[in-house]
């Protein structure tokens, strides 16, 4: 079995639940982004995109981590958790994963506009000496086509021009133009 096949077998069921949640986001007029957190093969928290209007920080990754963070999990338990998200997390949400000491991120579709992976540097020397600040393992491109289909469905029905523009760039997999106003990169 190849590495990718192992990943697919392990991760597909949880990513499929995240995709279902992403679909609920569309039904609510939101971007199709669904997230679950898994510990010991069980989903312990889930959310979907609900930042409609002026709530710029209500990304589903952040919502699930705020939920998990208040439950008193040990560092070892946190480091055993995996956060599944249908879209590559932004820098804010990646930082929240880091601060929450969640051990792994598995995502579906690349986020060419605000995805964290292209915007962060390499590991720091301090991380080697402070286990609680270890960066999470990151695995991408898990059921990414299924996530893309949801973004295409969102584009077909959305009347929000800024969110539609964001979704179109995600589907196209292109970087935002430096000349474009930042307000257009709205999720």
Q: Note if 184 is an active site residue.
A: no
Nearer to Zn ion, 22 or 93 (CB): 93
Q: Does 49 bind Zn ion (CB under 5 A)?
A: no
- Bridge partners of residue 35, in order along the sequence: 47, 85
Minimum CB distance to Zn ion smaller for 126 or for 182 = 182
- In the complex, the smallest distance separating the C-beta of residue 89 from Zn ion, rounded to whole angstroms, is 5
Q: At its nearest, how many Å lie between Zn ion and the CB of residue 108?
A: 14
Q: Which of 18, 93, 150, 163 binds Zn ion (CB under 5 A)?
A: 93
CA separation, residue 54 to residues 59, 67, 81, 102, 186 (Å): 12, 21, 30, 28, 10
Scanning 37-45, 84-92, 124-132, 141-149 for contacts with Zn ion by CB under 5 A, the matching segment is 84-92
Q: How many CB atoms lie within 10 A of CB 9?
A: 10
Q: With contacts defined by CB under 5 A, name the span among 77-85, 90-98, 119-127, 163-171 that binds Zn ion.
A: 90-98
- Under 8 Å between Cβ of 83 and 37: yes
Provide the sign of the torsion angle of the four alpha carbons 164, 108, 56, 175, taken in this order.
negative
Calculate the CA 70 to chain-centre distance.
Answer: 20
59 is a contact residue toward Zn ion (CB under 5 A):
yes
3-state helix, strand, coil in the chain (%, to 5): 45, 15, 35
The stretch near Zn ion (CB under 5 A) out of 21-29, 65-73, 92-100, 159-167 is 92-100
Binding region for Zn ion (CB under 5 A): 59, 90, 92-93
Residues with catalytic function: 61
């Amino acid at each position: 079995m190849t590495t990718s096949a192992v990943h697919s077998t392990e991760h597909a069921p949880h990513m499929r639940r995240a995709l279902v949640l992403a679909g609920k986001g569309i039904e609510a007029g939101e971007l199709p982004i669904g997230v679950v957190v898994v510990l010991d093969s069980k989903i312990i928290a889930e959310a979907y995109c609900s930042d409609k209007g002026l709530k710029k920080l209500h990304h589903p990754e952040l919502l699930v981590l705020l939920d998990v963070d208040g439950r008193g999990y040990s560092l070892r338990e946190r480091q055993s958790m995996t956060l599944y998200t249908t879209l590559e997390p932004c820098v804010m949400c990646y930082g929240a994963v880091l601060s929450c000491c969640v051990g792994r991120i598995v995502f579906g579709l690349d986020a060419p506009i605000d995805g964290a992976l292209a915007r962060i540097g390499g590991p720091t020397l301090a991380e080697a000496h402070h286990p609680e600040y270890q960066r999470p393992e990151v695995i991408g491109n898990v059921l990414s086509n299924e996530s893309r289909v949801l973004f295409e469905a969102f584009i077909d029905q959305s009347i929000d021009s800024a969110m539609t523009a964001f979704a179109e760039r995600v589907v196209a997999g292109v970087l935002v133009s430096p000349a474009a106003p930042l307000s257009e990169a709205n999720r």
